[in-house]
Structure 1
Amino acid sequence: MERTLTQEEINTGVETLAAAIREKTGDRKIALVGIRSRGDEVAERVLNLLSQDDRELDFGILDISLYRDDYEHLRENPLLQESDIGFPVDDAHIILVDDVLFTGRTIRAALDALLDYGRPAKIELAVLIDRGHRELPIAPDYVGITLETNRLDHVLVSLEGTDGNDQVRIVRKESP
């Protein structure tokens, strides 16, 4: 069995993230840091909505490939891309942004990578989709869409800038 989220549902999720961030942070300066790949595109969409406000915003992109704890299980030659953090991380209020939160391991890796740049005053987490099933004690501060999934389900995110279209497919897998 399969379920699909539409472009409209994805846009609504991004708008929900931006509204929640706006409400909680007011007009304080924040930095959005998107996790490659797809978290950076979600972060850029949120940034575009927040930039309509009169506030200071920084933007960065974080590649966590070398910080993952499942590096040996990835394909033979994983694609390594650059991080682009062009602002001082020390004492910044950073909101890490990712497309899907599942076990929490990607966020753990992102925290390790980010802290190599300095010591932020605060780090919060924004995710387009929270699908549950954590293995680590990591919880999002901002959620665009909450999905009820089974542990073995696959949540496949496609975004316009990365994949050519906006769509989320939830492929159901039955437990053995």
Structure 2
Amino acid sequence: MSNSSPTTALDAEALYATLLAQLKTGLAGASDVAIVGIHSGGAWLAERLAADLGLTARFGVIDVSFYRDDFAEKGLHADIKPTQIGFDVNAATLVLVDDVLYTGRTTRAAINELFDYGRPARIMLAALVDRGGRQLPVAADFVAATVAVAEGQALVLGRAADGTFTLTIDDDHA
């Protein structure tokens, strides 16, 4: 684990505003919309998006730890949170939210978990940032920016006490 300081800070609030605008346009006319965030950064984004889109009653959070194909290799992270989906996903238009789209493995795991709750009509993916490096054929329907990140670095979303976001490029601490 590196203790070096972040090399670059990105304007996470501007990226959030871009993502919100894309969702408002892209979801116009959609029916039975719900929003589900992937723990933790995606959940933070989804919670704020749900409030800004008037979807607080149709907001959920998932932790995909047990659904990852690299579970045996990586093990569990220390802060596992229970999945909370308090609405019927059957025939819903689900917006799956993650902070950073990278290999596609987290997205695949999230979709597998969502299907354990029912069969949505559609799942759309929203990500604050796409860093490339896909290992699976996954693409976001909504993405605020594409950011090149060097090998050995990670994009890290932070949330302040007032709910504002920060996004830094840090030395990889995985």
TM-score range, shorter chain: 0.7 to 0.9
Matched, 1:33 2:36: yes
Cα distance in 2 for partners of 1:77, 1:38 equals 14
Structure 1 residues without counterparts, runs of 5 or longer: none
Cα distance in 2 for partners of 1:73, 1:40 equals 24
Cα distance in 2 for partners of 1:96, 1:23 equals 16
In the TM superposition, residue 94 of structure 1 has moved relative to its aligned partner by: 0.2
Query: Identity of counterpart residues, as a percentage?
Result: 38
**Gap change, CA 1:47 and 1:74, over 3 Å in 2:** same
Structure 2 residues without counterparts, runs of 5 or longer: 1-5
The equivalent of 1:86 in structure 2 is 86
SS at match of 2:58: strand
**Gap change, CA 1:77 and 1:15, over 3 Å in 2:** closer
The equivalent of 1:169 in structure 2 is 168
List aligned pairs for 1:1-176, cutoff 5 A: 2-5=7-10, 9-28=11-30, 29-51=32-54, 58-74=58-74, 78-160=78-160, 166-171=165-170
For the aligned residue pairs, the C-alpha RMSD in angstroms reads 2.4
**Gap change, CA 1:50 and 1:40, over 3 Å in 2:** same
Q: Which moved more, 1:91-100 or 1:38-47?
A: 38-47
TM-score normalised to structure 2 length: 0.84
- How many corresponding residue pairs? 165
TM-score normalised to structure 1 length: 0.83
Could you report, residue by residue, the CA deviation over 1:95-134 in whole angstroms, capped at 9, with x for unpaired residues?
1001110000100100111110000000000001111110
In the TM superposition, residue 57 of structure 1 has moved relative to its aligned partner by: 6.2
